[in-house]
Amino acid sequence: MLLETEKLTRIYGGVVAINDVDFHASEGLITGLIGPNGAGKTTLFNNMTGLDVPTRGKVFFEGNDITGKSAHEISRMGIARTFQNIRLFKEMSVIENVMIGRHFKVGNKDKGRFRQALKSYFFMSREERWIYDSAMEYLEFLELGKFANDDAKSLPYGHQRELEIARALATEPKLLFLDEPAAGMNPQETEHLMETIRRIRDKGISIVLIEHDMKLVMNICDEITVLSFGQKIAEGTPEEIQNNETVIEAYLGREEED
Amino acid sequence: MFFQHFTNGLTLGGIYALIALGYTMVYGILKFINFAHGDILMVGAYIGMFSFNFFRGDAPLGAWTFFSFVLAMIVSAAFCAFLGMFIERVAYKPLRHASRLAPLLSAIGVSFILSNGAAWLWGTQSKKFDYPFDNTPLMIGGVAITPHQILILVVSLILMVVLKLFVDRTRLGKAMRATSLDQDTALLMGINVNQVISLTFAIGSALAAIGGILIAFDYKCYPTLGMMTGLKAFVAAVAGGIGNITGAMLGGILLGLLETFGVAILGIPMGYKDTIAFAILILILLVKPEGLLGKREKEKV
């Protein structure tokens, strides 16, 4: 198993955001994480990527316990993510956003990073060139090459989402978390996004995605986990989930509230 | 006369700018004002003076005294860099997730500890910082300029260019900018944010140390040396747009020029010189609340 959580629990004050969740993501697959609003999906993401520390439970990545590790360490181990509300470095150019993701991938690992970084000060050209070129490859992969020198904030919405994916890919993850990648996209953009997600999977990167667009989820996910009120209520293939009574109930219950 | 005032203003502004950089860099990353920054400048001045006297020994003015002075600047900058990192670790880091006021109060506390500590250790009497060179003014094109002023101009120019290149060009500099824009995302890019924050305090404090040494020639060393200068550098940082490095440089130089010209041309009595700094701050904040180069913070949805 690539990623596994064991009875993962996060309590904020008196609110149990996720409760004893055993989640897992298999290598090479696209795993969907769905559930009504407030089910704890993003909390689960935050607790697996080190942005939040679980109250109880453990997270394992490739068999290693990563519970409580800092987000930058987890990133360097090979987990990347995007955010529900786009969080680009808006003041930087498109290419710079991706270059930041490349920074800690340069050179050989046994030299101190600080020394490498200092070196980049005096020998800007060669290493910067390498970072630039490799960043450009990720932009091309997302078909954003022609926007390289624009400000990130000037990109149309759909492209901003894609840029966030390019930036996440630039850290060379083994596992990519996507938090509502299709939110706010029109049907054509969503179609294109599905294609992109498949292409990422085909590069050997495993994916976990939170999404409300059921068409997208049922179409591209190999496995689906359903959360409701902080608890895992179901998991299985898209067909299994579509026919699961508990899941249907959880979703209908939400519509009643609206 | 104009060029004379201009030179004087520029040198004063160079020092403000060096010190303002520390405020603005820390604010850019942690969104908090390090009110102990002025006192770090004071410690820098003392350490600079002591190590200068130590290195110099009894040597008469000459190449050796100047070399001792350069050494003293390096020692003081290094000392303050560690002091700044230490303060951050002990007084601010534990409060990082507390309310925004908590580290501010902690900073004021640190400020008192430093200035009272200095008074206790080194006494309240001002101590003279001897010039490491003959400070007789030189006449350049009708403008009298002291070697001290030339030193300030050269040192602050070099440091500002180096800093700007560092932040814009190097990987660590980019990590710093990324951290200031969005800490969580920076972490997810594999950037060690704690290291970046330490580095920011180190650089800011080292610059303050140099600034402290440069003003101590004129003001001597005393425990509250950092108060007024620190406050004015803070004004410069806010006026230039807090969080913006170029803004702090611009704000510092502008403040130095305005103060000098205020006294010289508007005839404001010397004693009211400091009023100008704060009047300017109020004016700028009224017209452009985000500062000259600052970005208006957008409400997050």
ipTM over 0.90: no
Strand ranges, E, within A56-183: 56-61, 64-65, 79-81, 175-179
Residue B126 neighbours by CB under 8 Å, 6+ apart: B219, B220, B221, B222
Domains annotated for chain A, with CATH where assigned, are: 79-173 (3.40.50.300)
Q: Which two tokens stand for residue B74?
A: 């390096």
Give the pLDDT mean for A204-218: 90
pLDDT, tens digit (0-9, with 9 covering 90-100), for B21-45: 999 999 988 888 999 999 999 999 9
| Partner residue facing B181 (CB), from A91, A114, A124 | A91
Question: Which residues of chain B have a CB within 8 Å of the CB of A49?
Answer: 188
* pLDDT score for B84: 95
Residue A111: pLDDT band with limits 50, 70, 90? very low
Please state the rounded mean pLDDT for residues A173-178: 93
The two beta strands, A3-12 and A24-25, are antiparallel
Q: Provide the mean pLDDT of chain B.
A: 88
d(CA A181, CA A198): 13
Domain ranges of chain B: 13-224
How much is the average pLDDT of B251-267?
86
* B185 with A91: Cβ contact below 8 A: no
pLDDT, one tens digit per residue, over B63-118 is: 888 899 999 999 999 999 999 999 999 999 999 888 888 999 999 999 999 999 99
Which residue does chain A place closest to B195, by CA atoms? A114
A110 pLDDT higher than 70: no
Q: Which residue of B has its CA nearest to A72?
A: B190
Point out the residue among A72, A91, A121 whose CB comes nearest to the CB of B190.
Answer: A72
State residue A108's pLDDT score: 40
pLDDT above 90 (res B14):
yes
Res. A255: pLDDT tops 70: no
pLDDT digits (tens, 9 = 90+) for B105-154: 999 999 999 999 999 999 888 888 888 888 888 888 888 888 899 999 99
pTM of the entire structure? 0.83
With 60 as the cut, is the pLDDT of residue B10 above it? yes
Tell me the percentage of chain B whose pLDDT exceeds 70: 98
The rounded distance, in Å, linking the Cα atoms of B225 and B209 is: 12
Q: What are the pLDDT digits (tens) for B171-190?
A: 788 888 889 888 889 988 88
Three-class DSSP category at A21: strand
Write out chain B residues lying below 8 Å of A168, CB-based. 188
What is the band of A122 on the pLDDT scale with cuts at 50, 70, 90? low
Q: In angstroms, how far is CA B268 from the centroid of its own chain?
A: 26
The full DSSP string for chain B is -HHHHHHHHHHHHHHHHHHHHHHHHHHHHHSS--TTHHHHHHHHHHHHHHHHHHHHTTPPSSHHHHHHHHHHHHHHHHHHHHHHHHHIIIIIGGGTTS-THHHHHHHHHHHHHHHHHHHHHH-SS-B----SS--PPEEETTEEE-HHHHHHHHHHHHHHHHHHHHHHHSHHHHHHHHHHH-HHHHHHTT--HHHHHHHHHHHHHHHHHHHHHHHHHHH-B-TTHHHHHHHHHHHHHHHH-TT-HHHHHHHHHHHHHHHHHHHHTS---GGGHHHHHHHHHHHHHHH-TT-SSPPPPPPP-
Classify residue B285 by burial, with Cβ atoms within 10 Å: 0-12, 13-18, 19+.
Answer: middle
Yes or no, beta carbons of B170 and A81 under 8 Å apart = no
Q: Identify residues of A whose CB sits under 8 angstroms from chain B CBs.
A: 49-51, 70-72, 75-76, 80-81, 83, 85, 87-92, 96, 99-101, 103-104, 106, 114, 116-118, 120-121, 124, 128, 131, 167-168, 171
Q: By CB neighbour count within 10 A (0-12 exposed, 13-18 middle, 19+ buried), where does B279 fall?
A: middle
Q: Which residues in chain B are contacts of A112 at CB distance < 8 A?
A: none
CB contact under 8 A, A92 and B185: no
* Nearest chain A alpha carbon to B184: A51
CB B69 within 8 A of CB B52: yes
Residue-wise pLDDT for B45-55, tens only, equals 999 999 999 99
